[in-house]
Structure 1
Amino acid sequence: MAIDGLEYEFGGPIGALGVTLGTPFVTYALYFTCNEGGCPNPALLSDPIGHFKTEVWPGWSGLFSSKVTAYYAAYWFGLVALQYILPGKTVLGTVLKDGTRLKYKLNGFESFMLVLSYCGAMTYMEGFDWWLWAFIWDNFLQLITGTLLFAIAMSVYCYTSSFFTGEPLATNTGNILYDWFIGRPLNPRIHNLDLKSFCELRPGMIMWPILNFAFLAHQYNTHGYVSDSMLLVNVFQFWYVFDALYNEPAVLTTMDITTDGFGFMLAFGDLCWVPLTYCLQARYLASHPVDLGYLGLAGVLAVQGAGYYIFRNANSTKNSFRTNPKDPKVKDIKYIETKSGSKLMVSGWWGVSRHINYLGDWIMAWAWCLPTGFGTPITYFYVAYFAVLLLHRERRDEAKCKAKYGEDWKRYTEIVKYRIIPGIY
């Protein structure tokens, strides 16, 4: 949308304010409404305001812990240290608007495996009673606040520093709130540490399966066993993170890295929203075990397998085509060449729909929620939210491609007619 001649996304400054306030509110709300007391907590259904004040609200002091925030900071900077210490391959990113290409050291997978190996070794020696698992369960609310504060601080730093570093800008409307939210700098760096790509795959993504396992340990310590549904959620979401980090080079061709600025939107999403809302299913199952049985397991596995097959094959094809069009895996892909020099695939996965990977991602979202059963709609929040996210992201991408490719984009959409779901949308 355009306001005063400027092009805005997310409804402009008012929309940016709404998302800035709304997403932390939802993160806290999911914690308060879905917990060991119920999902939703029965007390909140009978008298939401009264029981929230007397039985749920921990007081302002209960929202924040300097100890938890310090632990999170140590974790974050520890991953920064691993970025420098561990070996990794250095690759070039895509060509930026100024014609340059940034260098990236890729060792996120190695960092992930080292952190998980440590957690695994300590659990092997100490059992499910290892202090970290109980600490996460007992301090989950304070962890939300710690990551939120970290995201705010990082977005303030990136916005402020962009006026002095001379780095390429993604957005520069002049509206402080909007530019801070959407991200003024394109690739903010401290020396050779790229803050955007680091946050995209490391602190939040690595913490996500750690949180899930803490909830698995809580279920075992509380109920004396680990349910098949809890195992599925842990395995599925662990595999998603494993796959993302193993295929780390693919992130360098995503819109987040190549186009979007790094502001509060991505900082909060990467550090707080992803790990602390995406773990909702495991957190629910920790207190409310669900036993699926053989038929339930088979059904959920089939949904996960179908979604992952589409998602991974489509993304692998796109990454191979963009980085090495002569790769034997994509040498037979048909494409149209645009006046800008870009090539748009019109066969294979990307000839089926313009965002076929989104369909695979959304199918997997169902597989993550189905293990929680049908006792509450709250654990299906991710399916609904993710559908809105993908639709909005597709519309943003469509608008940018129209502006970039002009008539070539029209020609492309006449060949690849569907946006996400073949034959439907």
Structure 2
Amino acid sequence: AKAAVKETVTATSKISPEEPRRSARIRISEQREKSPVLKRTPRDKQLSVILDDAAEELSKKGSPAKSLTPNTSQRSAVTSTGGRVTASRSVSVANDSQEFSDHEDIEFQSFRRDDNGVREKSYARRSASKQLQDLREFGGNIGAVAVLILVPAFIFLINHFCSGAAHRDCSFKLPTNLDEFKALSTYFNREVAVIFLLFTWAIALISTVPIGKAVKIVDEIRGQQSYVFTGLSCATFTGLAVFVAEYCYKYPLIGTISKGYNQLLVISLIHALITAALAFVKSRYVPQTSWNPYAKSGRFLSDFFLGREINPLSFNTINLKLVHYHISLTLALLFNSIILYRNVHFPALAETETDLPLLDKLTFIARNTEFEPTPVLAASLTILYLLDLLAYEHHLTHSFDLQSEGFGAQLLLRYAVFPFTLTLLPKYVAAHKLPEVPAWALAAVALIALVGLFVKRSANRLKHQYRLNPLGEKFIDLETLPTFQGRRLLVAKWWGRVRQPNYAGDILQNVALLPLLYWRFAWPPLLAVLFTVALLVHRAARLSERNAKKYNSAWQRYCASVPYSLVPKVF
């Protein structure tokens, strides 16, 4: 009987097996999943584990306990849950070194989640808007409008009151008759406009010919980039064109340019604004990933002013930024060459001396050539400044202008006014000759300019060579400061004395001619030099602010090591 009962129980257990036991916690979770009201959005697995651990600690101790688990509630949207990936990477940085960031908690806040483990969309919008506000420069739309109106007007006025026989004294004296400001000829001349347009097109065409220094770099964001610097070719071609027009075709090109100085300024400003507008329209057909991060605000005036593209190309060949850079430098070189030419008086060969050998002719010309010392020195130092920029143009490869500055109205206006602000002081000196300036003062002016040139060029050369080959033998013992982005900040030689020695040298070269105003003072030339200095100081401040955002605490350590920006012990 017992055997029969046992068989019956066994058969029954096979037909309807007993339900396995479950813990109360598992049964409650299953009921929640089946209930549509209590169903919740699935969470990140790793985040769920962290939150569950925190809940257990809270239930056990009654208060939140500090956990050794990373706080992923402050992770960035670009950071995966399985492993971190920083937004800015470098080839020279290993993955394990990218695990650390200076402002990690702040950067990872964009991955904040709500109670259900879902990312808060409203917080993402607030984070994005905050980033755009952080990248604002020049005061947004208001600053852009102010610069677009005030800078062209200021540059035109200081040049207008130093041009022509009526303003030979170079002073801000309003004429009794304002007809000169009402006349169209004050602002526009058809012949000058045609010359300027032909000049710009010629520079653009020369830029397509690969005659110059070629440099290739690998950018972290834009990949491999190639540059061919043709500045010297542009300057040489311009000089030959002027020579052919003057002496072969007898066209008074030098006189036309000198008389149309103000009209050239106006057409340069108009050309800059039109080019900026065309570049802004062109940027709509370029992926936003390649835009200037400071020109993504959505505000038209601000983005138009700063420029959406960094290095726009025309026909995938012509670098428009380099073209306008060459236009600016070559035009300034032409102005100062004319000043030098007009202040050097070559003797005329007599009929009896025309049959002399070439060497004897050159000796006769050298012995009998006369010149005005002060204008010649002013023009020569300015020409040396420009030739240095053209000869070492390839040092721009890693510069702020070429790699970070947007191709917008701000940059193009700066290029447009550069020849006129740089030439105003030599032009004023040439108009008044200043024969009373002593020789020792001329020597001091030349010394200041040469020191500035040496500081600027040696600093730029060191930076350029180090960026091209940071692992070279000559840089083994070079003092540098590491950053979390894989780059190293130079703390050696000039870069260990001030943070922007290249700008400091540039400022020295620009102020070198100011002592000449002691013998005949005028406000417009002084204001032109101060305007250039203000631009350089402001650019140094912008660069410092960008580096602070990019390198974070590494930049703070660098500033602690090199506390002065331009002038040691002063600023």
Counterpart in the other structure of 2:149:
21
**Residue pair 1:136, 1:214 contacting (<8 A) in 2 also:** no
Cα distance in 2 between the residues matched to 1:78 and 1:20? 28
Q: Does 1:182 align with 2:322?
A: no
Deviations 1:390-414 (A, max 9, x none): 2211211111111111111111111
Q: Does 1:67 align with 2:212?
A: no
Deviates more, 1:56-65 or 1:335-344: 56-65
Counterpart in the other structure of 2:166:
37
Deviation of 1:210 after TM superposition, in Å, equals 0.6
Cα distance in 1 between the residues matched to 2:473 and 2:377? 35
**Residue pair 1:137, 1:215 contacting (<8 A) in 2 also:** no
Counterpart in the other structure of 2:115:
none
Deviation of 1:120 after TM superposition, in Å, equals 5.1
Letter in 1 for 2:137: E
Q: Does 1:262 align with 2:407?
A: yes
Deviation of 1:147 after TM superposition, in Å, equals 1.0
Q: Does 1:131 align with 2:259?
A: no
Q: Does 1:294 align with 2:464?
A: no
Q: 2:226 pairs with 97, 100, 103, which one?
A: 103
Deviates more, 1:23-32 or 1:362-371: 362-371
SS at match of 2:223: coil
SS at match of 1:162: helix
Deviations 1:40-99 (A, max 9, x none): 556x53xx3x52614x436134311233222111111111111223523432245153x4
CA RMSD of aligned residues (A): 2.6
**Residue pair 1:133, 1:215 contacting (<8 A) in 2 also:** no
Deviation of 1:250 after TM superposition, in Å, equals 0.8
Deviation of 1:105 after TM superposition, in Å, equals 1.9
SS at match of 1:18: helix
Deviations 1:263-302 (A, max 9, x none): 01111211x2111221101221332111234222211111
1:50-61 correspondence runs (5 A)? 51=176, 53-54=178-179, 56-57=180-181, 59-61=183-185
SS at match of 2:178: helix
**Residue pair 1:6, 1:173 contacting (<8 A) in 2 also:** no
**Residue pair 1:232, 1:371 contacting (<8 A) in 2 also:** no
Deviation of 1:158 after TM superposition, in Å, equals 0.7
Cα distance in 2 between the residues matched to 1:237 and 1:41? 20
Letter in 1 for 2:268: T
Counterpart in the other structure of 1:398:
544
1:278-317 correspondence runs (5 A)? 278-291=422-435, 292-317=437-462
Letter in 1 for 2:176: H
**Residue pair 2:272, 2:413 contacting (<8 A) in 1 also:** yes
Counterpart in the other structure of 1:169:
291
Letter in 2 for 1:53: L
Counterpart in the other structure of 1:367:
512
SS at match of 2:227: strand
SS at match of 1:104: strand
1:406-425 correspondence runs (5 A)? 406-425=552-571
**Residue pair 1:63, 1:145 contacting (<8 A) in 2 also:** yes
Cα distance in 2 between the residues matched to 1:144 and 1:234? 19
Q: Does 1:192 align with 2:317?
A: yes
Cα distance in 1 between the residues matched to 2:213 and 2:511? 35
Deviation of 1:218 after TM superposition, in Å, equals 5.2
Q: Does 1:240 align with 2:363?
A: no
**Residue pair 1:317, 1:330 contacting (<8 A) in 2 also:** no
The TM-score normalised by the length of structure 1 is: 0.89
Letter in 2 for 1:138: K
SS at match of 1:90: strand
Counterpart in the other structure of 1:338:
483
Structure having the higher Rg:
2
Deviates more, 1:8-17 or 1:289-298: 289-298
Q: 1:119 pairs with 242, 246, 268, which one?
A: 242
More helix, by proportion = 1
1:137-156 correspondence runs (5 A)? 137-156=258-277
Q: 1:386 to 1:194 in 2, by over 3 A?
A: same
SS at match of 1:413: helix
Deviation of 1:118 after TM superposition, in Å, equals 4.2
Q: 1:212 to 1:9 in 2, by over 3 A?
A: same
Cα distance in 2 between the residues matched to 1:12 and 1:226? 50
Letter in 2 for 1:162: S
Q: Does 1:210 align with 2:331?
A: no
**Residue pair 2:155, 2:421 contacting (<8 A) in 1 also:** yes
- Runs of at least 4 residues off by over 6 Å: none
Q: 1:293 to 1:393 in 2, by over 3 A?
A: same
SS at match of 1:237: helix
Deviation of 1:215 after TM superposition, in Å, equals 3.4
Q: How many residues align?
A: 412
Q: 1:73 to 1:94 in 2, by over 3 A?
A: farther
Cα distance in 1 between the residues matched to 2:551 and 2:159? 44
**Residue pair 1:237, 1:368 contacting (<8 A) in 2 also:** no
Deviation of 1:251 after TM superposition, in Å, equals 0.9
Cα distance in 2 between the residues matched to 1:78 and 1:108? 12
Cα distance in 2 between the residues matched to 1:93 and 1:151? 28
Cα distance in 1 between the residues matched to 2:253 and 2:377? 22
Deviations 1:2-41 (A, max 9, x none): 8984632111111111111111101210122223434655
Q: 1:6 to 1:160 in 2, by over 3 A?
A: farther
Deviates more, 1:101-110 or 1:333-342: 101-110
Deviates more, 1:103-112 or 1:335-344: 103-112
Q: 1:349 to 1:328 in 2, by over 3 A?
A: farther
Letter in 1 for 2:561: I
Q: 1:106 to 1:369 in 2, by over 3 A?
A: same
Deviations 1:200-234 (A, max 9, x none): 2x10101102112333455679xx97421211122
